[in-house]
Copies of this chain bind each other. A is one copy, B any other.
Amino acid sequence: MSSNTFGKDFRLTTFGESHGDFIGGILEGLPAGMSIDLDFIRSELNRRKPHSAYSTQRTEDDEVRFISGMENLKTLGTPLAFIIPNNNARKSDYDNLKDIFRPSHGDYTCFRKYGINASSGGGRASARETTTRVVGGALAKLFLRPVNITVKSEIESICDFDYITQRKEAEEALKKAKESSDSLGGVIKCTIQNVPAGLGEPVFDKLSAVLAHAMMSIPSARSFEIGDGKESCKRFGSQDIDHWNEDFTTKTNHCGGIQAGISNGMDIIMHVGFKPISSIGLIRGITREGKIKETENKGRHDTCAVLRCGVITEAMAALTIADFIKRSQQEK
């Protein structure tokens, strides 16, 4: 069965196909009496929307409506359900894709799994699905607000360029990709601050393991690193050890805030790599009969996923931390 729920004690369950009338979800685990800051939720959704020239021109309204679980913007302790209407489903854009499996897309694998062709938007493998994660993540951030835990993200690299020091080169690569109807990959850095020491459930649900699960479930994710990640793996132990300060903080944070799968109170730092999206201008697909067929891709798509991905990584991080906070409450 497809997996539509993330979290054990703070749970987001989502539904909705890319081009269906609604997408939405149910968030369970919020305590009763919590204030829901709708403006914040909308501002988070807004961050996921296409803003730059390099993002899809498909307008996304993302007007979220909460239909249960709150009264007068206060939670009731019951499941909080929300729906987002899809005002902009232009299925016709995808008509010429109906008969082919696009390369490096989910068309073929979904067909092999479910036996139906969802290439024209009838499936869930779509960026649109991530909207529900952003709503869930915004609710998780509201849940974390009173304990001062914050999540932020930044673009670390685009193409082969460090986004801080080589931003000009990155912009040029984007321009070049856009002009040639091509796309670009990149890496997001996501940081969680003020996490108390003690979160994580070894041996299998180490905090780092569940964060990896969360991040790698985002469409197009290809790599996950905690702390210094792959750089650590090139070091001697003596170079990678995070030495103690006398207040139990550490002088360095090579480990990214997690020791033996449990948070140590330092910032949790992750790096999530996203492949270049595969919806480029010219699609060399394959028919069910095994004939290669070249098609022009008229659907509106992003040049670079990482320009909009940050808020999604934050959402998944916030959902994960909220869940572990609830799970840890049993241990008192």
Which residues of A are interface residues toward B (Cβ below 8 A)? 1-6, 9-11, 13-17, 20-24, 26, 28-29, 31-33, 67-69, 71, 76-81, 83, 101, 103-106, 108-110, 112-116, 118, 122-125, 129, 157, 159-160, 177, 180, 182-187, 197-206, 208-217, 219, 221-230, 232-244, 246-248, 250, 254-255, 258-265, 273-280, 284-286, 290-292, 326-332
* Additional A-B contacts beyond A157-B233, A212-B213, A212-B224 (10; CB < 8 A): A3-B201, A13-B79, A14-B203, A76-B114, A109-B262, A185-B233, A185-B236, A239-B276, A240-B276, A248-B290
A217, B225: Cβ atoms closer than 8 Å: no
List 18 contacting pairs A-B, 8 Å CB cutoff, sorted by A.
Answer: A20-B67, A21-B67, A101-B248, A103-B244, A108-B259, A108-B264, A125-B261, A157-B234, A182-B238, A183-B237, A206-B217, A223-B225, A230-B230, A237-B278, A240-B275, A246-B290, A246-B291, A327-B330
Chain B positions within 8 Å of A214 at CB level: 209
A278, B240: Cβ atoms closer than 8 Å: yes
Interface centre among A210, A223, A265 (most CB of B within 10 A): A223
The 5 lowest CB-CB distance pairs between A and B, nearest first, are A106-B260, A3-B205, A183-B237, A109-B262, A237-B276
Name which residue of chain B comes closest to A256, CB basis: B222
